[in-house]
Chain A
Amino acid sequence: MDVNTNISDINFLIQHTFSNESELSTPNVEEKLSLLRRSRISKPIIFVGITSSSIIAGALETLDAVNNYVKERALDIEVVVVGSIGMCSHEPIMDVQIPGKCRISFSQVDEQKVSLILDGVLNNFVPTDNPIGQYQNSLHQAWTGVPFINELPFFEQQHRIILKHCGVINPNNIIDYLAFDGYKTFANSLKTHTHNELCNIIEDSELRGRGGGGYPTGSKWKKALMAAADQKYFICNADESDPGTFMDRLIIESNPHLIIEGIALSAYAIGASKAYIYTRSQYETTVKRIETAIKQAYEAGLLGHNILDSGYNLDITLKKGPGAYVCGEETALIQSLEGKRGMPTLKPPFPTEKGLFGKPTVVNNIETIASVPYIVSQGSKTFKAIGTEKSKGTKLFSISGNVNHACLVEVPLGTSIAKIVELGGGIPKGRRLKAVLMGGPSGSFIVPEKLTTPLDFETFSSENFAMGSGGVTIYDDSTCIIDLVKYFMQFIQNESCGKCIPCREGSRRMLEILENITRRPESNEGGNTLERFKGVIHLESLAEVMRDTSLCGLGQTAPNPLLSALKYFRDEFEEHIFDRKCRANVCRNLRTFQIDIDKCTGCDACAKKCPTKAIIGNPRSPYFIVEDKCIGCGICEEVCKFSAVLSR
């Protein structure tokens, strides 16, 4: 690509963005803008969505296939990398736009499908494969028989503010962001708003931190602004590490400049001249996209010394975290930035008084930061119109688990949990919804009867649910709640930093008790069951101690899954303890196996594989399992071709 035209485009956009629109709104300018916004194109464009999630689905192979297709046929076609529109189950997604026609999007395009689809679309017809939809644009002719993307139920039920351009624009190019009025809010704020005014706007918008705590962002900023210091810091917390949560990664990878603008506005509001982005070094795609975006913003003069002649300086540095769950906690994150073990410190002093290197520091979550440009440009009133009486704005949720479509959605606060499940495409056929877990290892289970609960801060705190960061994992009846609680406790035990006793020892003991429940008793002595039952009683009190006395959010919220499971799934705990039975057949050690004599053909396959020689019998007649020898590994069930091995 020609570098010179790039720079002239950037300069053009910056001029356009930062001067009064009426002056420059000549037909010439409009034409150039529509060209950069790709509403008028001179040659076909192929878009391939590349994010950390689609790469795993094979998007890089698709991109290679597209490039080869264009190269082999020597076509004059532009290939553009985009982010994710949120439909993760449809990945790899490829869009094609030919001059005069709407941009059309295809799902699950693997290497083999590329040439079939391109052969069709480039010759003006939609090939047999089902497209996801097309992007509505009045300037273009629509494809017949293809739905508009914004009219699909998946998108119609959402309110996309943060995700507006995600998956549509090129995340590796600042021009794409500038063309849609990017950085305009920042430039205008530098001219027209004081630090305090910006804080007021955010305070007035009632924006609350989206990382899980729900602390009002405006008042946090004000505290930092009021603190007297020669240096202040702003930190963007992109260390998303809840298992099953991928919102922040997808926002950054799809629209990194939105985050840079959000950081710039936030840092300006608190008067910080240095900002850090803290993300995980393992998230390679995320790291690359941020690095590119920061570099481009510096080159365009939107970061650095004396930005746009305003006298304001801002440096943004990317810090690659070496990976620790506890570093999502703000004080631990600060410790890690200083090059220490990421252990939380006591609050107060709060980071807004004494944070990074002892200076006032504000730590905000990606999603909070991504909302800032919208609030400042549209005004707090517009933002406040979305959501419920006390919880304003939208919230992102990443939906995964036993659903038909794992996806990323943005809905107004106050949307019911049932709707979230619906957006995820519902439960796989023939299964029944068992529980919804909001917010990963620190969240709580929500049972089907509670699905109408609106997702907002006040209902959640009154119901004693944890909002968490927005990871929603949906479980059907094939999962065992005790096994899940054990999994999360194991995670917490691994990730506990070890500083305070309630969390370090509490999580270990809790895991031991849970393991005891899910283990086959060594003997059938009477005291054994009692012992296990006592464990559960301890479990509850232990959980309460942990919640009340742990130092940081990790320990305080760690018992949440357990407490909610004990509340709603008590019968399942009792079943595990008294009947030694796991109804979902997940707890391997509790399984017992039996051979169906009608189905068994005596093929000897199971007996050969049995690690403890617990299966005996003569070839060509039904076999038998010796229960005392069986360790419940389940290998016999796996190898049996006649489904003769039954587990109970």
Chain B
Amino acid sequence: MKSLAVSNWSLLLAFALVLVSIAISAKEKLGLTKDILISVVRAIIQLIIVGYILKFILHANNLILTIVSTTVIIFNASWNANQRDPNSKRKIWNSVIAILVGTYITLGILVLSGTIKPTPMQVIPITGMIAGNEMVAVGLCYKALNDSFHDLQQQILERLALGSDIKTACFPILRRSIKTAMQPTIDSAKTVGLVNLPGMMSGLIFAGVNPIYAIKYQIMITFMLLSATSLGAVIAGYLAYRNYFNERKQLELG
């Protein structure tokens, strides 16, 4: 395990990698130098703080602290997913419900089936992985929903004009948006091991775990992410499409 330790000097030298992106930004006049520096400083500060908090929580091994940690992760993921919704009438609770339900159902199945133990050491990193992937899926769902409402505006109006309720009028849009949201996870599941060696599997192999065990964990994570992103996208889609209508069931595009 000692071979995994990264010295402060090594970290400092690795900073040269950041200089590469700053150099590209400067040469190509992308105007991203400030953004890159801010993102690097933020990443360092956030990770140091989270490292100490995690050390404390994992050591305390307390159920309430574990629940609070997962709630904080879920809320952050929801806030970020909500920011990606282009609809001016977006509602944060749509994202909170979608990510909270998707995460806790998936987590519940994993704990009840004995796949993971209800300890902070296992629950917190898994929650982060689930909520992170759901955040991306929910954000994509919102974006696809917005694009579809603009592209297929007349089709929806025609259905409404025939006396359809808003849910039936939006079925084609909902299907398209949920499919878009789930596609990256499905594509990633198709190519796992062939194109990308996921972080958790690589980490376990790095740490000296038998690759067969690492692969079993990765299979579990692939199943888990498929379930979580489907749940998150479906719930978010079915909640968010209503934000495009007023109380008279009229389509309102901002």
Q: Do A and B bind each other?
A: no
